[in-house]
Structure 1
Amino acid sequence: MPPIFEIGDFGLTKQMLLLVLSVILIAGFFLVAIRHRAMVPGKLQFVAEEGYAFVRNSLGREIIGQGFLKWVPLLFTVFFFVLVNNIFGLIPILQLPSFSHVGSAYAIAAMIYVTWVGVGIKKYGLKFFKLMVVPAGVPFMLLFILVPIEIISNFIVRPVTHSLRLMATMLAGHLIAALGATGAEYLITVQENLFLKGAGIFVIGGAVAMGLLEALIMVLQAFVFALLTAIYIQGAEHADAH
């Protein structure tokens, strides 16, 4: 993506601005929502509390279990950060899901990877790697097959799929919606055939339907990304139970 403007060798792109904007919007919303905390919450406070409760209960308590509270801030940040950056793709003028670019998806997945691996090493030391790649109760001869598979699965495939799943769905949905809108514009404004102009109206309907589907996928992908984060942390916390 070409930079919006450059300062020496540093270029600031639209994607970078959206990532910063998302932090400002999330922090601003929740600070305003909890500014006047009341026993009977207003609309903003209710939305903020429900968002927190959703992450706390559905991702923290249900997935991580014992000791989950210390991970709620991370899960909360991950969920809303990914969600807001996904939703940017539906907003006119912005119209860019930040994680449709693989670099940002790799970056956030790498941070999660370092986090859960660090958790495992802190708790178990270097024994953590053995716990992750040597399944308990497996006959010795099978370890020659299973250990390489576990190494690839846990330490290579995990971070790659964690990032690419998010990027691919955001990119695909964005491209389909853009293609539908461009096709409708072409049929209605360029084509002289009345039948094709009428077909453009149906294409608009399809583009709107795809936009609604994309909105659903944006929310689901934010949840899935945060869910996998919780699962990886839970696995690192309880590696000795594998």
Structure 2
Amino acid sequence: MLQVPRRTGLSGPTLVRLLARLADADAPAPASSLSSQLSQWLGWADAIALSSALKAQVPAMPPPASGGGGTEAQQCARVRARLADAIAEDAAPAGRRRGPARPSALPDPVDAQVDYAVHRQRYLTLQQTMETSIGSLRGGLRAALSAGTPAMAKLAMVDAVMERVLGMREQSLLGAVPSLLEAHFQRLRQAEAAALEAQAQAQGQPAAVHAGAWLGVFRKDMQSVLLAELEIRWQPVEGLLAALQDS
């Protein structure tokens, strides 16, 4: 069975720990605090915009008629379920997508020879889907908050500024994930090739590795990374929804 080394003692978001494990690397401790790093990401114009949002005087508005975020919570649940389903469907072998679940079997021979560019494009497409869906949902939650108390409206203003000033940084960091996965893709393929060659040289030994099995391992790992990325992208939505429900 193909496996990658598992490192212990790592902390931080699931995405960071997964990528460190798949890359067989240690995740170094941050050199500075989160607040210090955040200050380095914000330019002077961004800092002014954030300060203005924090100091803004928002007039009182009548309570929203959405029932404390119940409708928004249902919409959030639907969007997250659709994104998780899209990730799960993408991880399935080509011959089994958009169909009933089947027992695991050997990968399609054509899939076993596929170039990483195909998987890179799938990952980028899912990233774009997450960004678009979550961005639209986040905007809707801000609109609902803006119709509430001054504190809720101010939170919506601050979130809008944070999304704008940190959006490019987020895209840059998460955009590097497909390249990190490519190295894992190549290691798994090379490890299987070496194992098959060793089996061929060992006459009379039962087969322990199936040709193409490495691709199933990679698909599962890529799915785990995508779900971990979804978890990170979803955090602002959870915060806005919690504020709306607690109002």
TM-score interval for Structure 1 and Structure 2 normalised by the shorter chain: 0.3 to 0.5
Scaled by the length of structure 1, what TM-score is found? 0.42
Question: Normalized against structure 2, the TM-score is what?
Answer: 0.42
